[in-house]
């Protein structure tokens, strides 16, 4: 599951396992999480702030006073900012501070201020871990609702072997991912997304297509994935780097192929997003051989393609949600409203080619969102990932969702 858009506060305390927090940071960042690290003073005996700030791409914090940026070293702000406060490794000392409300450094003050869920991954020697004082501290933290990532067994820094090793970073990542998936609002929901362009073959080497890069559709797919949905993507030919394994992914070329794939899945879907730029026309015939340039002009007969959104819109069940896009160059609002009704969408996202920063290829978009209920929302120019979040957030305003 992608952690895109998730804000994770990673606490690192003084333990030999602190070196693993570098690997953990890298894994979290790779999955798209924004990671802010707070180190206890003794953590820096085991790993340098420079290593962790390089990997997290943010300054590492350890004291109350403000740094040059002036904003981060506020434990209340940090506590409010995070979606998850993960402390890995957590030493016996910091466990005890958390359990008893001791507030003598930035990390423990942030713990007391955090409104988000807290996960801790203890690391210590096996006898320390088994000590009743530590075990009762762990139970106390559990009783506060904190999530304990049990220490794993194996070789310990002391040379002894037993339970006490910090959970491996890959296992922590899996816990974090399943934590977000379990609280995700679209858990159990199936979402279909058409995206990218279609290619309509003229002959074995040429086709008619458009400039869609698939960026908008992919941003939506990632947004739904990060909120727990099972995401079925039907993509026209794109050249984006995608981790297709996170999705139920089908590559198609033509509008006909896209329609057939979408039609097959449609009845099982809860939400369908039509973000693809589907060619409206296709050559009446595909020339079996490469068309030769014999004449000054060349006429090609085109026939209308199937309209995927209109066809599936006619089959839409009462509990299904359909979201469409309108890409316009003129009479934007009128055309979008017309498509909203004609294609039986619950909402339509208008992007205008006249707006700079909006439309094909770019990493940004600027949209107007029109609900069938009459509600409308306008965005600024924002990264497509944020536009996707805005669109997904609008689903709660669709009557059949409530």
In the chain, what is the greatest distance between 2 CA atoms, to the nearest angstrom? 91
Q: Where would I find the H helices in 183-307?
A: 215-226, 255-266
Distance in angstroms (rounded) separating the CA atoms of residues 383 and 396? 22
- 8, 325, 389, 395: which one contacts ligand PMT (CB under 6 A)? 325
Give yes or no for residue 370 binding ligand PMT (CB under 6 A).
no
- The sign of the dihedral angle between the CA atoms of 143, 148, 150, 155 is negative
Give yes or no for residue 340 binding ligand PMT (CB under 6 A).
no
**Could you tell me which stretch among 19-27, 56-64, 70-78, 277-285 binds ligand PMT (CB under 6 A)?**
277-285
Closest C-alpha among 179, 172, 156, 76 to residue 120? 172
Annotated catalytic residue within 210, 311, 344, 397: 210
Partnered with residue 186 across adjacent β-strands are: none
Tell me if residue 210 is catalytic.
Answer: yes
Give yes or no for residue 255 binding ligand PMT (CB under 6 A).
yes
CB-based contacts of 35, cutoff 8 Å, min separation 6:
8, 9, 10, 25, 28, 29, 56, 58
CB of 305 to ligand PMT, least distance (A): 5
- 13, 212, 226, 254: which one contacts ligand PMT (CB under 6 A)? 212
What b/e readout covers 146-169, taking b as 16+ CB neighbours within 10 angstroms?
bbbbebeeeebeeeeebbbbbbbb
Residue number with CB closer to ligand PMT (24 or 275): 275
- 275, 340, 390, 398: which one contacts ligand PMT (CB under 6 A)? 275
CB of 341 to ligand PMT, least distance (A): 12
Residue number with CB closer to ligand PMT (25 or 365): 365
CB of 206 to ligand PMT, least distance (A): 20
Token pair of 33 as six digits: 């999480």
Distance in angstroms (rounded) separating the CA atoms of residues 248 and 233? 6
CB of 376 to ligand PMT, least distance (A): 17
- 99, 229, 261, 327: which one contacts ligand PMT (CB under 6 A)? 327
Catalytic residue numbers, as ranges: 210
Binding residues for ligand PMT (CB under 6 A): 194, 212-217, 255, 274-278, 280, 305, 307-309, 324-327, 339, 343, 351, 359-361
């Amino acid at each position: 599951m992608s952690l895109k858009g998730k804000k994770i506060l990673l606490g690192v305390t003084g333990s030999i396992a602190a070196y693993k927090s570098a690997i953990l940071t890298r894994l979290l960042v790779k999955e798209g999480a924004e990671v802010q690290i707070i180190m206890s003073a003794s953590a820096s005996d085991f790993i340098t702030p420079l290593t962790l700030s390089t990997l997290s791409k943010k300054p590492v914090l350890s004291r109350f006073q403000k740094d040059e940026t002036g904003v981060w070293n506020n434990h209340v702000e940090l506590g409010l900012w995070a979606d998850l406060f993960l402390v890995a490794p957590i030493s016996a000392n910091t466990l005890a501070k958390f359990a008893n409300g001791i507030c003598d450094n930035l990390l423990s003050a942030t713990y007391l201020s955090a409104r988000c869920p807290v996960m801790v991954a203890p690391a210590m020697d096996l006898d320390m871990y088994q000590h009743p004082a530590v075990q009762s501290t762990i139970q106390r933290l559990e009783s506060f609702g904190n999530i304990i990532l049990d220490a794993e067994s194996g070789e310990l820094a002391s040379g002894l072997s037993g339970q006490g090793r910090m959970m491996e970073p890959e296992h922590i990542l899996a816990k974090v991912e399943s934590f977000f998936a379990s609280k995700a609002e679209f858990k159990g929901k199936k979402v279909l997304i058409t995206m990218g362009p279609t290619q309509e073959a003229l002959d074995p080497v040429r086709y008619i297509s458009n400039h869609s890069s698939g960026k908008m559709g992919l941003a939506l797919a990632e947004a739904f994935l990060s909120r727990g949905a099972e995401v079925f993507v039907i993509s026209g030919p794109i050249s984006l780097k995608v981790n297709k394994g996170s999705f139920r992914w089908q590559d198609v070329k033509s509008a006909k192929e896209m329609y057939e794939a979408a039609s097959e899945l449609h009845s099982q879907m809860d939400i369908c997003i039509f973000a693809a730029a589907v060619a409206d026309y296709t050559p009446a015939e595909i020339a079996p051989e490469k068309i030769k340039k014999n004449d000054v002009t060349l006429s090609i007969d085109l026939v209308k393609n199937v309209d995927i959104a209109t066809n599936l819109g006619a089959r839409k069940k009462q509990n299904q949600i359909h979201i469409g896009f309108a890409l316009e160059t003129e009479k934007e609002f009128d055309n979008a409203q017309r498509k909203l009704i004609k294609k039986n969408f619950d909402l339509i996202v208008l992007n205008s080619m006249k707006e700079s920063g909006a439309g094909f290829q770019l990493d940004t978009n600027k949209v107007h969102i029109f609900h069938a209920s009459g509600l409308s929302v306008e965005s600024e120019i924002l990264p497509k990932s944020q536009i996707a979040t805005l669109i997904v957030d609008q689903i709660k305003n669709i009557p059949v969702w409530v």
